[in-house]
Structure 1
């Protein structure tokens, strides 16, 4: 049965703030119907209420879930189908970025990162793919990875490992689900200007560290959330019809190699 919906039905996890919020709003601006998923009820409700006034209640819905609970994936997909008549796009954006040295990481630290960044992502992708396969109309899944999937960083070994897992998982799922017309790709952001980032710049030391991070980036600035969203929109568009299994890094050139300022080398 082909897709007869006029507007694409989209699920975005981690949609209450930051990159996920930017992605969700970009889809709304493109005319899609969007289901916002997040564990933070207050932030999610605030975002959803503002957007319902701006874009219309018929094009927006929200669900509060902890994606570590595997049953949440099926519940969210079922809700999207009931509300929007089907599912065309899933964006797995929910995740966590803690910092702790490898000698200090506990079993609980490790499990939290992998439960959120890998396990939750996988079961949402699985539930979405099952629905897309049943619809027989294909679909698009975009996982938000990170430059940490390619470039090692000290102090975040559990995070880097989880994002490397996301990259490989994206490739495997692309291979398995290609026969059903399901494209699976990833977008790997570098440093992004989000509410969370700006909130950390409250001291001179934090600002200094931020400027040092920017100095490693050839473009010398953080990305806007909308710039990450634009990469996602491209990967779910007809222009990306022959792209699957890729990890598109949107990082201002950071992963190409470290920039050494004021150097003649």
Structure 2
């Protein structure tokens, strides 16, 4: 599943799942644009890890330069930032082939206490941001008459209710339908669109859960495989969907959840 000669943009790749995805795509031969909003130090770390792999030549072309990755700060809730992110990515590498829409946020609150500010923050990043980042990349692919891969990092909560996270569930449910719609609309142009839907993944964002043994044990009872997922569990699937091995796959959601979705009971 080599990605030699490909360029990938991974949003929200300064930490967590996004960081591991970016490194995994680079390991497969792609050059990668690292995007961050508020963690430039994390983005720099991701870039450094990828460039450290440049000690050996990669792929059939045997490129050995240290320009396998660079970072761009952008807030995906702002349309001008999205256009700048995509434009600078293309200016730097001359092309984009793979877009991984990983950036996302969530806000915890009972439905009746959700503020307009909190609602807008979640929808603007998780749905609006994905919509217009994808649009910008698709325009580039169409203008250059090239195929491409759009991979959205969704969530089990595109299907599974999650009380006290109504805006998040709405954003992921919207992403599920957007993926299906774009898969049909963009197929004639050789552009595939798929969702990867993680369940409970061991990342810094879940530090509170990891430090609460009672809550962790309750969650693990809902996961048939009996463990939390690791970022690499998600990254491996993204690598596959970005490769030519997945050229006939579009409009689908792939759950990476240890069986959680079909075994979940709200505590």
**What runs of 5+ residues in structure 1 fail to find an aligned partner?**
261-265
What CA deviation, in whole Å up to 9, does each residue of 1:151-208 have, x standing for no partner? 11111111111100111111111111111111011100000011222x32575xx221
Aligned with 1:221 (options 201, 205, 227): 227
Contact persistence 2:50–2:68 (CA under 8 A): no
**What runs of 5+ residues in structure 2 fail to find an aligned partner?**
55-64
Which residue in the other structure is 1:33 paired with?
Answer: 31
Which residue in the other structure is 1:263 paired with?
Answer: none
CA distance in 2, matches of 1:43, 1:162: 26
Task: Summarize the alignment of residues 53-92 of structure 1 with structure 2, pairs less than 5 Å apart.
Answer: 53-55=52-54, 57-92=66-101
Task: Summarize the alignment of residues 159-238 of structure 1 with structure 2, pairs less than 5 Å apart.
Answer: 159-197=168-206, 199-201=207-209, 203=211, 206-238=212-244
Contact persistence 1:218–1:259 (CA under 8 A): no
CA distance in 2, matches of 1:135, 1:6: 19
Name the SS for the 1:184 alignment partner: strand
Using the size of structure 1 for normalisation, the TM-score is 0.90
Contact persistence 1:140–1:182 (CA under 8 A): yes
Kindly indicate whether residue 133 of structure 2 is the aligned counterpart of residue 127 of structure 1: no
Kindly indicate whether residue 10 of structure 2 is the aligned counterpart of residue 12 of structure 1: yes
Name the SS for the 1:20 alignment partner: helix
CA distance in 2, matches of 1:52, 1:29: 10
Name the SS for the 1:46 alignment partner: helix
CA distance in 2, matches of 1:234, 1:139: 14
Distance apart, 1:97 and its partner CA: 2.1
Which residue in the other structure is 1:137 paired with?
Answer: 146
Evaluate the alpha carbon distance shift between residue 27 and residue 163 of structure 1 in structure 2; reply closer, same or farther with a 3 A threshold: same
Which residue in the other structure is 1:51 paired with?
Answer: 50
What CA deviation, in whole Å up to 9, does each residue of 1:133-156 have, x standing for no partner? 112121000011100001111111
CA distance in 2, matches of 1:149, 1:202: 23
Distance apart, 1:229 and its partner CA: 0.7
Kindly indicate whether residue 252 of structure 2 is the aligned counterpart of residue 246 of structure 1: yes
What CA deviation, in whole Å up to 9, does each residue of 1:187-236 have, x standing for no partner? 00000011222x32575xx2211221121111111111011011111112
CA distance in 2, matches of 1:47, 1:88: 20
Tell me which moved more, 5-14 or 122-131.
5-14
Contact persistence 1:11–1:91 (CA under 8 A): yes
RMSD (Å) for aligned C-alpha atoms: 1.8
Using the size of structure 2 for normalisation, the TM-score is 0.90
What CA deviation, in whole Å up to 9, does each residue of 1:20-77 have, x standing for no partner? 0110010011011000001022222233234323336311110011111112222222
CA distance in 1, matches of 2:186, 2:157: 25
What CA deviation, in whole Å up to 9, does each residue of 1:215-260 have, x standing for no partner? 1111111111011011111112222111111111111111123379
